[in-house]
Structure 1
């Protein structure tokens, strides 16, 4: 079956200008043209463009998408899927790191806001004035309550607040510790309110899982962790309210 560029754009979900751009940068070959001079796409072109759009929508850079397209054209599906998984893993790690950076930044901004609220109501600015302090000292207890999801306009009784009170400076290290631990999981399973991670048991791993779970629950009370040890394996169940599903996925991954 043949398609015009407008039809392909509609089926793939991108503007026709994007399809032309893909041709200009060599991401795809120029399609055949009919006797009327219009571009003519076939089913193979449509499938390839759908693949490109799907991988690009995952945030994979176009340079990497180009490599995937080359694999798509010559390799079997399982090999291509393996390449995509590797790139998705890199994107996930980058995203988790950005989450840690953004949470840390949010805590710093809240600290600055609290200092500015305490500024004198009158008088000129000068040395020691909160608005001229480039690197303000943290609040006394260094624990800032940072919302991790959009809060409702009106508080809802009995609905837990999805927020973290971890000190801003400790957030990147905590994220890194979880990433290193989650990477050791040999299996992920979906559970009702989260995900379960299965590990090969070792005394060192049990200690690390327990340490991280206890530390995380202390600052993010909306999490519930359940640790089960059986012969040769350790199972960590991570549960959270539905409002925190994105946070669970970002920190612990999703079940395959």
Structure 2
């Protein structure tokens, strides 16, 4: 996944950020659903809430097109990730990384 032009994260830091997402997926992601072309839903282990909130806050700072919404739900932490239609390819990339993390 290549970060979009709208991303202001320095190029040298992008692999580190992707590694942080990969770690979150591998350690805490329980399920993933594609709600719509522009919305992805992750169910996370509630113990990962602080990590997930910190990571998504930092991601929003450099990629302002992301909207991250958290909600507790029946023993899980639901995280919805939304992007505008122009950024669906970025969401597709995150979805693929998350799926790989679930399988790992």
Q: What is the CA distance between 1:182 and its match in structure 2? A: 2.2
1:164 paired residue number: 7
Deviating 4+ runs (over 4 angstroms): none
Pairs within 5 Å for 1:1-256: 96=1, 99=2, 147=5, 163-183=6-26, 184-192=28-36, 193-202=38-47, 205-253=48-96
Larger RCO (alpha carbons 8 Å, 6+ apart): 2
Aligned residues: 97
Unaligned runs of 5+ in 2: 100-104
* Higher strand content, 1 or 2: 2
Structure 1: distance between partners of 2:73 and 2:10? 34
TM-score (norm 1): 0.35
Q: What is the CA distance between 1:231 and its match in structure 2? A: 4.2
Q: Which has the larger radius of gyration?
A: 1
Asked if 2 retains the 8 angstrom alpha-carbon contact of 1:190 and 1:254, the reply is no
Q: Secondary structure at the match of 2:65?
A: coil
TM-score (norm 2): 0.80
Query: RMSD over aligned Cα, in angstroms?
Result: 2.2
